[in-house]
């Protein structure tokens, strides 16, 4: 059973491990992949890691569908691990189920793949890339391959897909469903002991098939419930983000209005300062004029008294 991420990416000192660098590189949108690859390769080469730089430079840009599948794996590690485990359980169940059981599991498989590909499309859109219908079909094809083919599961678990995966026509080890269960051929002249053994073996096979079918159904239902829960959490997070965005806009408008009021208050203050200064200057000029007038009045009064004293 492949792990969701076989390379967690350790660090030595301050330099990232090349495996972690490659993991992050394959979650880079395809439009930015080449530029980011060359940047990382140059950094590794500049640090003296020539082999690492060569590996990074050799990385091939993924298609949009492969990038979305890589992004899903890295962004939803728990769901991806359960999806891989579900694929293993389904492959085990398909080896022994009859046509009716296969049809039931196929329907559940389609629902889970559709739900998980919807998550991949949502993650891609949040990263700024809306997936077309054709690209979403390629993502679903990749996820079906992961459920069907263990080699495809291992490739997806590596997190570095370069292109979409194609599922085989049917689960390995199963015959094409015909709509009816195969009935054991009855011998023309079975001996009683052989008939009893055949019945017991048939009953045991049926019991095993029922157990495997129940296990697969439970796993599929749990996976579907987890996907629904994840979608609900994403919806709540989106609602909270929208509320925060609205509050941010409101606060920004309030800050803008406050800044406008502050600018107006500063302008009013500057005008008041100018008017106060002008009034002070006029007050000083008036005081000076008043002082001059008082001096002139005193001088005129002395002159009058002097002239009056002469006439006497």
Would you say 146 and 158 are in contact if contact means Cβ atoms under 8 Å apart? no
Q: Chain-centre distance of CA 175, in angstroms?
A: 40
**Size of the chain, expressed as the number of residues it contains:** 312
**Closest to 212 (Cα-Cα) out of 118, 61, 98:** 98
194 vs 12: which has the higher pLDDT: 194
Pairwise CA distance, residues 307 & 294, whole Å? 20
- Give me 188's structure tokens: 């023309």
Q: What is the pLDDT of residues 7-42, one digit of tens each?
A: 444 444 445 689 999 999 999 999 999 999 999 999
Flag whether pLDDT at 2 surpasses 50: no
Flag whether pLDDT at 202 surpasses 80: no
Question: How many percent of the chain have pLDDT more than 70?
Answer: 70
Would you say 120 and 72 are in contact if contact means Cβ atoms under 8 Å apart? yes
Contacts of 111 (CB under 8 A, 6+ apart): 224
From residue 276, alpha-carbon distances to 271, 280, 282 in Å are: 8, 6, 10
CA geometry: angle 166, 170, 173, nearest 5 deg? 125
Q: What is the pLDDT of residues 230-257, one digit of tens each?
A: 666 667 767 777 877 788 777 778 877 8
- Give me 178's structure tokens: 């015909």
Total-model pTM: 0.53
Flag whether pLDDT at 52 surpasses 90: yes
62 vs 2: which has the higher pLDDT: 62
Task: Classify residue 48 by its DSSP letter.
Answer: T
Question: Rounded mean pLDDT of the chain?
Answer: 78
Average pLDDT, integer, range 176-188 = 40
- Band (pLDDT 50/70/90 cuts) for residue 162 is very high
Task: Classify residue 171 by its DSSP letter.
Answer: -
In this structure, the number of other CB atoms found within 10 A of the CB of residue 134 comes to: 9
């Amino acid at each position: 059973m492949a792990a969701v991420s076989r390379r967690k990416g350790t660090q030595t000192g301050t330099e990232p491990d090349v495996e972690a660098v490659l993991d992050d590189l394959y979650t880079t949108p395809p439009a930015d992949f080449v530029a980011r690859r060359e940047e990382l390769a140059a950094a590794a080469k500049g640090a003296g890691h020539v082999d690492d730089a060569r590996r990074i430079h050799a990385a091939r840009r993924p298609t949009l569908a492969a990038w979305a599948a890589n992004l899903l794996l890295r962004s939803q590690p728990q769901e991806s691990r359960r999806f891989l485990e579900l694929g293993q359980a389904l492959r085990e169940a398909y080896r022994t189920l009859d046509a009716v059981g296969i049809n039931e599991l196929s329907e559940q498989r389609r629902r889970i793949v559709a739900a998980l590909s919807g998550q991949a499309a949502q993650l891609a859109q949040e990263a700024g890339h809306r997936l077309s219908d054709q690209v979403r079909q390629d993502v679903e094809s990749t996820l079906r391959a992961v459920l069907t083919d263990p080699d495809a599961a291992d490739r997806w678990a590596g997190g570095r897909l370069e292109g979409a995966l194609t599922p085989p026509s049917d689960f390995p080890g199963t015959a094409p469903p015909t709509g009816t269960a195969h009935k054991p051929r009855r011998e023309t002249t079975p001996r009683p002991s052989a008939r009893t053994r055949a019945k017991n073996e048939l009953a045991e096979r049926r019991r095993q098939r029922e157990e495997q079918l129940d296990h697969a159904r439970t796993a599929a239902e749990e996976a579907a419930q987890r996907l629904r829960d994840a979608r609900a959490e994403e919806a709540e997070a989106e609602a909270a983000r929208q509320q925060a965005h609205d509050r941010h806009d409101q606060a920004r408008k309030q800050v803008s209005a406050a800044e406008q009021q502050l600018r107006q208050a500063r302008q009013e203050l500057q005008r008041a300062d100018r008017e106060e200064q002008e009034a002070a200057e006029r007050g000083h000029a008036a005081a000076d004029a008043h002082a001059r007038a008082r001096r002139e009045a005193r001088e005129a009064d002395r002159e009058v008294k002097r002239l009056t004293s002469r006439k006497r």
